[in-house]
C-alpha cells in the first residue's frame, strides 16, 4: 500500500507531462535556430566576397588617413613654381634674381607653405570672414571662367537693344561760355557785381567775355556737357539745372553755383535722344554678354541651393 502510494506520488500528472514536452520542443526549436544562425554565420565568414568588402573598406580607411596626413606633411616645390618666382622677381625689379637670391626666395616660399599647411591642420581657416569671402569670390570667378557665352548673333543683340533702349539714351547737352564772380574775393557783393556785368554784356554783342569777371578754377568754355557732368564742376543746384532752361545766344541773369556766381551764354543745346543700334553695338554686345552671364550665375546658384536645407529665423 505504501509502495503504491509512493509510486503514485512519484508519477507525473498528465498536465505536467504535457507542459514539459512543450517546453522541450520550444527549447529544441530555439537551439535549432541558433545552430542554423551559427552555421550561416560561418558560411558568410567563409565567403570570399565578404573578405573583399572588408579588405576594401580597410584599404579605403587607410588611404583616406594617409591622404589627409599627406596634405599636411608633403610639400613639393615644382620647377615651374621656381620659374614663376624668378619671373615675378624680374617683373618687379627688371632683372632675374641671382642664384643666392632665388634660393632665398624659394626658402621663403617653403616657409610660407609650412606655415600654411600647419594653419590648415589646426583649422585656422574655419570661421574666418576674410577667408570665407575670398573663397566665395574665387568660386564666382571659377563659375564665370567655366561658362563662357557664345558670340551672340545680330538678331539677339537688336532684340536686347530694343528691350533696354532707355539705358542707352544720350542725355541732353549744352555748349556755353561763362563769366565767374567769386564769393571768396567779392563776398556779399558778388551777386550785385554779376548783375551789373550782365546788363553791360546784354548790349555788348559779345558771346564770350573772359576778362569781365574773376579767374575761374576750371574751364571758361564747355562743349556738349550733360547735367551730370556740370554737377561735378558746379554742384547739382543752380547753374547745372537752370542752364537747360535758358534761351540760346543771349547772356543770362546771374546764376549761383557751389563756387560763386556766373553769367552764362548758351551757344547750343541738344535734346536727349536714343542712338541708332549701329552707334552703340559694341556697348550692347558687352551688356548682353554680362546679362547672360548674370542669368547663368543665378541659374547655377538656384541649382546649388536646391541641394541645401536652409533654415531661417521666424
Q: What is the pLDDT of residue 151?
A: 85
Q: What is the pLDDT of residue 64?
A: 54
Read off the pLDDT of residues 70-86 as tens digits, 9 standing for 90 and up: 455 677 888 898 999 99
Q: What is the pLDDT of residue 239?
A: 93
In whole angstroms, how far apart are CA 191 and each of 119, 261, 262, 278? 68, 6, 9, 47
How far is residue 124's CA from residue 129's CA, in Å, rounded to a whole number? 11
DSSP-derived secondary structure letter, 208 = -
DSSP-derived secondary structure letter, 204 = T
The residue whose grid cell reads 556785368 is: 197
Q: What is the DSSP string of 38-81?
A: HHHHHHHHT-HHHHHHHHHHHHHHHHHHHHHHHHHH-----HHH
Question: What are the residue ranges spanned by the domains of the chain?
Answer: 10-44, 79-126, 170-270
Radius of gyration of the CA atoms of the chain, in A: 45
Contact 270, 224 (CB under 8 A): yes
Q: Which three cell numbers stand for residue 314?
A: 521666424
How far is residue 152's CA from residue 31's CA, in Å, rounded to a whole number? 79
pTM over 0.85? The answer is no
Q: What is the pLDDT of residue 26?
A: 57
pLDDT along the chain (314 residues), means of 10: 38 48 54 60 59 60 52 76 91 92 90 85 85 87 67 91 93 95 92 94 90 90 94 90 93 94 95 93 93 86 84 76
Q: What is the pLDDT of residue 256?
A: 94
How far is residue 178's CA from residue 261's CA, in Å, rounded to a whole number? 10
For residue 179, how far is the Cα from the chain centroid?
48
Read off the pLDDT of residues 195-245 as tens digits, 9 standing for 90 and up: 999 999 999 989 999 888 999 988 999 999 999 999 999 988 899 989 999
Q: Which three cell numbers stand for residue 185?
A: 574775393
How far is residue 85's CA from residue 110's CA, in Å, rounded to a whole number? 12
Q: Which three cell numbers stand for residue 7?
A: 509510486
How far is residue 180's CA from residue 134's CA, in Å, rounded to a whole number? 51
How far is residue 191's CA from residue 263's CA, in Å, rounded to a whole number? 10
Contact 169, 268 (CB under 8 A): no
Q: What is the pLDDT of residue 8?
A: 45
In whole angstroms, how far apart are CA 237 and each of 227, 243, 251? 10, 11, 19
- Closest alpha carbon to 194 in 157, 238, 138: 238
Q: Which three cell numbers stand for residue 278?
A: 549701329
How far is residue 227's CA from residue 170's CA, in Å, rounded to a whole number? 12
Q: What is the pLDDT of residue 145?
A: 58
Query: How do strand 255-256 and strand 173-182 relate by DSSP bridges?
Result: unpaired
Q: What is the pLDDT of residue 113?
A: 85
- CATH number of the 170-270 domain: 3.10.50.40
Amino acid at each position: 500500500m505504501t509502495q503504491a502510494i509512493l509510486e503514485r506520488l512519484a508519477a507525473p500528472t498528465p498536465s505536467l507531462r504535457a507542459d514539459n514536452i512543450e517546453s522541450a520542443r520550444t527549447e529544441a526549436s530555439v537551439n535549432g535556430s541558433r545552430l542554423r544562425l551559427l552555421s550561416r554565420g560561418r558560411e558568410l565568414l567563409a565567403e570570399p566576397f565578404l573578405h573583399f568588402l572588408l579588405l576594401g573598406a580597410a584599404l579605403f580607411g587607410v588611404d583616406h588617413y594617409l591622404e589627409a596626413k599627406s596634405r599636411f606633411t608633403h610639400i613639393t616645390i615644382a620647377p615651374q613654381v621656381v620659374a614663376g618666382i624668378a619671373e615675378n622677381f624680374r617683373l618687379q625689379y627688371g632683372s632675374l634674381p641671382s642664384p643666392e637670391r632665388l634660393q632665398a626666395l624659394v626658402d621663403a616660399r617653403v616657409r610660407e607653405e609650412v606655415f600654411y599647411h600647419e594653419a590648415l591642420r589646426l583649422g585656422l581657416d574655419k570661421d574666418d570672414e576674410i577667408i570665407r569671402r575670398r573663397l566665395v569670390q574665387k568660386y564666382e570667378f571659377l563659375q564665370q571662367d567655366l561658362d563662357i557665352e557664345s558670340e551672340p548673333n545680330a538678331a539677339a543683340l537688336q532684340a536686347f537693344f530694343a528691350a533696354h533702349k532707355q539705358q542707352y539714351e544720350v542725355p541732353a547737352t549744352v555748349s556755353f561760355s561763362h563769366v565767374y564772380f567769386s564769393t571768396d574775393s567779392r563776398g556779399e557783393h558778388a551777386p550785385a557785381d554779376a548783375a551789373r556785368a550782365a546788363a553791360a554784356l546784354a548790349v555788348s554783342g559779345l558771346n564770350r567775355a573772359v576778362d569781365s569777371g574773376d579767374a575761374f578754377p576750371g574751364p571758361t568754355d564747355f562743349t556738349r556737357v550733360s547735367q551730370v557732368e556740370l554737377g561735378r564742376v558746379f554742384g547739382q543746384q543752380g547753374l547745372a539745372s537752370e542752364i537747360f532752361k535758358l534761351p540760346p545766344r543771349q547772356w543770362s541773369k546771374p546764376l549761383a553755383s557751389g563756387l560763386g556766381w556766373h553769367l552764362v551764354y548758351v551757344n547750343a543745346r541738344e535734346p536727349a535722344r536714343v542712338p541708332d543700334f549701329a552707334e552703340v553695338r559694341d556697348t550692347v554686345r558687352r551688356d548682353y554678354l554680362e546679362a547672360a552671364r548674370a542669368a547663368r550665375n543665378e541659374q547655377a546658384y538656384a541649382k546649388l541651393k536646391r541641394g541645401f536645407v536652409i533654415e531661417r529665423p521666424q
